[in-house]
Amino acid sequence: MSVADITEAQFADEVLLSPVPVVVDYWADWCSPCKQLSPIIDELAREYEGRVKFVKVDTSAEAGLAAQQGILSLPTLQFYKAGRVEKSLSGGKSKNALKKVLDELI
C-alpha cells in the first residue's frame, strides 16, 4: 500500500471521515528528518494495511492546512481515530516507537 499525498480539499474525506484510524505525516522536501521517517512510514503502511490508513501532507504545498492543524515543527505525525487527534508526535521516531502508538490506537 502506498502512502497518498492529500490536500486540504481531501482532508475531511480521507482523515476525519475515515472508518479506520489514520496517521497523517506532515513533511516537506527540505526536511532531513522527514526523509529519514518516510521509509518507516511506508513499511508501517504495509504492515498495518486494512487496519490503519496512512496519508502525507506536503506542508510546502499545503501551508494553510498545516497552519489550521497547528503544525509547528517537522516532521509531525498526527494519529486520528473517529475524526479526532488521539496523539501527535514531532521529530524523528523509531519504527518501534511508532508501532507502540499504533497498537494503542487500534
**What domains can you pick out in the chain, each with its CATH number?**
8-97 (3.40.30.10)
Q: Is residue 31 among the annotated active site residues?
A: yes
The catalytic position among 3, 20, 28, 31 is 31
Q: What gap in Å lies between CA 17 and CA 22, rounded to an integer?
A: 10
| 7: DSSP letter | -
Angle between helices 32-47 and 95-105 (to 10 degrees): 50
For the chain, how many helices (H) and strands (E)?
4, 5
Mean of per-residue pLDDT scores for the chain? 96
Q: Shortest CA distance to 37 belongs to which of 24, 51, 50, 53?
A: 24
What pLDDT, in 10s, does the model give residues 46-70? Answer: 999 999 999 999 999 999 999 999 9
Q: What gap in Å lies between CA 8 and CA 63, rounded to an integer?
A: 9
The pLDDT of residue 105 is 93
**Does residue 1 register a pLDDT over 70?**
no
The pLDDT of residue 9 is 97
What pLDDT, in 10s, does the model give residues 77-88? Answer: 999 999 999 999
The catalytic position among 22, 34, 37, 74 is 34
Report H helices in the chain: 8-11, 32-47, 63-68, 95-105
Kindly report the pTM of this predicted structure: 0.97
